[in-house]
Structure 1
Amino acid sequence: MATMTRAWPAAWLAVATIAFAAACGPGPSAGQTAATTTGWHLVTFGDSIPFGQDDCGECETFTTLFGDAIAKATGKSVEVQNLSTHDNLTGARLLGRIQTSKPFRDAVADADIIVVTIGHNDTPWNSDDDPCDGANGDTFNWSKYTGDCVTQLARRHGDELDKILTEIETLRNGKPTAVRVTTDYNDVIGFDQAPPESVAPSIEVLEAFRSETCRVAQAHHDICVDVYRSFNGPTGRSPAGGLLAGDHTHPSAIGQARIAQLLIDAGLAPIGITA
């Protein structure tokens, strides 16, 4: 099974590259100058959702798959940098890193394509400073994850994301940049350790987060990549199933490939293929 799982993204990549090339337009011709085929820099910032490694059996992450597809479709070299971290990263902490960490700031300043994935650890069942039940330890108070506190928490997520995207714009200093912001999926539905009463609150929270994520991304003229709807169906109520790894939290190899496909489908505006 492991061999089949690893081989599947490569087969997918060949098909995805054809679709991506069609979406981006014709690749560079033999007569184009070196300047038009200058490489791009792709950077992913975020929590452990894009992290890969042990979470998906050392599978290729969506960052790597996306970079490979861009290179094959455009003929450009693509430097891929995955700066996601497996440390329960929140929106506030990611903002702090982009504001103060020189390696992060340098990566943003140099990146032509940026993927931001954040919010998973800001949900009330993963957060210890949310307005619903605060520092809850290992206790999940599902009945409290509803109403005004969810609205407040989603708004906080949106405010943090707004500041992250504003900082990216400042560091890019007007240079064309393809910024993609992913929504968080629901890993509570279908989890065998989650009680039945967890489903409705989890949907309410993830719907609120999705709305804020896409609202803020669109306000910055960036593209919201709706992983939530892809993983959990058009109503957000279906289990993610095999798109999740054995921990029922992180994307599996198939899930990583699905996210890469969504990024490919979003295209590369505004940088095109001659940036």
Structure 2
Amino acid sequence: MARLVVFLGTALVLLAALATLNWWVDPFGEFWKPSAVQEARAARPQCLVSHELIGGEYLPFKLDVFRSRPTRTFVTGSSRVLKMGSWPGEGTFANLGMPVISPEIVLKELRALPARPETLYLGVEAFWLNPHFRGFDVSPGLERRARYVLSRSAFDESARIVRRAPYVLLHRWRKERVGSSCVVGRSRPALAWRLDGSRVWSFELDPDTYHPAIDPFTTDLRKLRTGIYDDWTELSPARVRTLERVLALARARGWRVVGFTPPDGERYLRFFAASPVIGPRWRAFGRLMPKLFGRYGYRWLDFRDARSIPCPQTDFVDGGYHTDAACSMRMRRRLDAAARRQLTLVALGDSIPAARPRECHCRAGFVALFARALRRPVVVRNLAVPGANSAEVLKLLRKRGGVHADMALVMVGHNDTPWIRPDGSLRRNLAAILDLIHARDVRVANFYDDGRGDPGVVAEYARAICEVARSHGARCADVYHAFTPKLLAPDHVHPNAAGQRLIARLLYTLPSARRK
């Protein structure tokens, strides 16, 4: 019995030592090491972080990148977007892309981000819509971690690392020089990450180090790019729905989004076009994406042919799959230009801007008509709530912490009871509402006389709305004087289709109102 206890005790000690060594060295990067990134960030000038320290912990690393800087623009997608980085002196860009990412991982990543105004460049891969493609596991469970720290393969690699870099037993990493760059790493510090989340190839740091191999071209779909196109018989409806959830989340948060797909080399383009398996799906993908993004008010840029960027074939570092920094930044320039053309529009108010068809007997309310008249890509967030009065709209805004957009339309007050004189609560509520709108252009519409109230009170009410709007730097559309009874819907409360068109026209013809 004593021998059994000694044997079991010895075995447990050895297993604990093995697990501790593999956890400490972490040869395959299974554990997130925030201290290494913090050390790189604290260095002056800042260092890069070796890929061996990040390993497979892409998600926590990318979220740390986003949160550690005042991010306003970010890109996410597969390894083919990882060379897209910040412009010189730019501190508000982040690259959240990951190797072997999928729509499900993109959705998980975006849900972890704060709901503040952002511009997102979403790199969508055609092979994402292959039902047989599987993304990387970004959240390994306890069982997988336990198998890892107790595995023989991890121990063998830990031993090799310790032989190459004995200091790892006491210090898990140190600052190294690779070419002219500082890299926080250890035995293989060449392939590295910038602190904006973009990736640096080894040969960019030192021409004598690792260069990505030229992928051998094959028409065998089981081998081509590790089989990501194999057995592709349809565009996965589930993956399309996941992409729609991504776009719906972005629209709900008021984000600008520009979608794109990275380029492929000429020989791959010819093969994809001619392949009886990939070809039909390749063309269907090209037709679907602009429609899908357009449905949410977003732009789509098809970069599948590198000439459209434009990039020469020599800009592929591995024969036709990954582009170099020069081509990636040309894509970034095109994306920046597309994002600048895109507007975000928020609407606030009651059932009139909400424009439910059964009430207005119209196909589109004035908010949608106004957006169309702009003749630019517009992301519309109609936050109007049927039945809401000014106090309830104010409560909604306070709960959301205000709203951020390029433009805002406000029409509220019909449900304030009794109708309010200029010094009443409507005036105070509207002033507070406008204080919570952060937009360059704010336009307010006053209310019309539907024949149910005291005309004198309605006139006073209309004047009060425009006075408050002007005092807050917003423009006011005088719907009160332009509206006639024939513009009412059958319920004699809401505007009909012609009435909605009138309100849209009055708002559209106002001069821009600039706000901070």
Q: Say which structure is richer in helix.
A: 1
Normalised by the size of structure 2, how large is the TM-score? Answer: 0.33
Partner of 1:179: 442
Q: Partners in 1 of 2:368 and 2:343 — Cα distance?
A: 13
Please name the residue that 1:160 is paired with: 429
Residues 1:80 and 2:380 aligned together: yes
Q: Matches of 2:400 and 2:350 in 1, distance apart?
A: 16
Distance 2:450 2:421 in 1: 20
Question: Residue 421 of structure 2 aligns with which residue?
Answer: 151
- 1:113 match: secondary structure: strand
Q: Which residue of 2 aligns with 1:144?
A: none
Give the corresponding residue for 1:113. Answer: 407
Q: Taking structure 1 as the reference length, what is the TM-score of the superposition?
A: 0.60
- Check the 8 A contact 2:475/2:513 in 1, yes or no: no
Contact 1:46 1:83 in 2 (8 A): yes
Structure 2: distance between partners of 1:164 and 1:119: 12
Residue 249 of structure 1 aligns to a residue whose secondary structure is coil
What is the CA–CA distance in structure 2 between the aligned matches of 1:256 and 1:123, rounded to whole Å? 24
1:1-275 correspondence runs (5 A): 34=337, 37-52=340-355, 53-71=357-375, 76-86=376-386, 88-101=387-400, 105=402, 108-109=403-404, 111-124=405-418, 151=421, 155-168=424-437, 172=438, 177-188=440-451, 202-231=454-483, 240-270=484-514
Deviations 1:120-158 (A, max 9, x none): 011427xxxxxxxxxxxxxxxxxxxxxxxx537x52211
Q: Which amino acid in structure 1 is aligned with residue 378 of structure 2?
A: V
In the TM superposition, residue 58 of structure 1 has moved relative to its aligned partner by 4.0
The whole-number CA distance in structure 1 between the counterparts of 2:417 and 2:481 is: 17
Instruction: Answer yes or no: is the 8 Å Cα contact 1:155–1:212 preserved in 2.
Output: no
Which residue identity lines up with residue 95 of structure 1 in the other structure?
Answer: L
Contact 1:113–1:178 (Cα < 8 Å) also in 2:
yes
Question: Would the alpha carbon gap of residues 205 and 157 (structure 1) be closer, same or farther in structure 2, given more than 3 Å must change?
Answer: same
Deviation at 1:204, TM superposition (A): 1.4
Q: Deviations over 1:50-109 (max 9, x none)?
A: 1222112242111111000102xxxx31112222122x211111100000136xx4xx22
Give the number of the structure whose alpha-carbon radius of gyration is greater.
2
Q: Specify the SS of the correspondent of 1:181.
A: strand
Unaligned runs of 5+ in 2: 1-333
Whole-angstrom distance in 1 between the partners of 2:393 and 2:410 = 10
Which protein is richer in strand relative to its size? 2
Q: 1:123 to 1:186 in 2, by over 3 A?
A: farther
- SS of the residue corresponding to residue 374 of structure 2 reads helix
| 1:34 CA displacement | 1.6
Asked whether the equivalents of residues 427 and 464 of structure 2 are also in contact (C-alpha less than 8 Å), the reply is yes
Q: Percent identity?
A: 36
CA distance in 1, matches of 2:467, 2:343: 27
SS in 2 for 1:43: strand
- Name the SS for the 2:352 alignment partner: coil
RMSD (Å) for aligned C-alpha atoms: 2.2
Letter in 1 for 2:460: A
Tell which has more relative contact order, 1 or 2 (C-alpha 8 A, sep 6+).
Answer: 1
CA shift for structure 1 position 37: 4.4
What amino acid maps onto 2:413 in structure 1? G
- The answer (yes or no) to whether the contact 2:474–2:514 under 8 Å persists in 1 is no
Partner AA of 1:186 in structure 2: D
**Residues 123, 230 of structure 1: alpha-carbon distance in 2 compared, 3 angstrom cutoff:** farther
Are the equivalent residues in 1 in contact too, given 2:349–2:388 (CA < 8 A)? yes
Q: Is the 8 A contact 1:123 1:205 kept in 2?
A: no
Q: Partner residue of 1:23? A: none
- Determine the C-alpha separation between the residues in 1 that align with 2:513 and 2:463: 22
Contact 2:347 2:408 in 1 (8 A): yes
Q: How many residues align?
A: 180
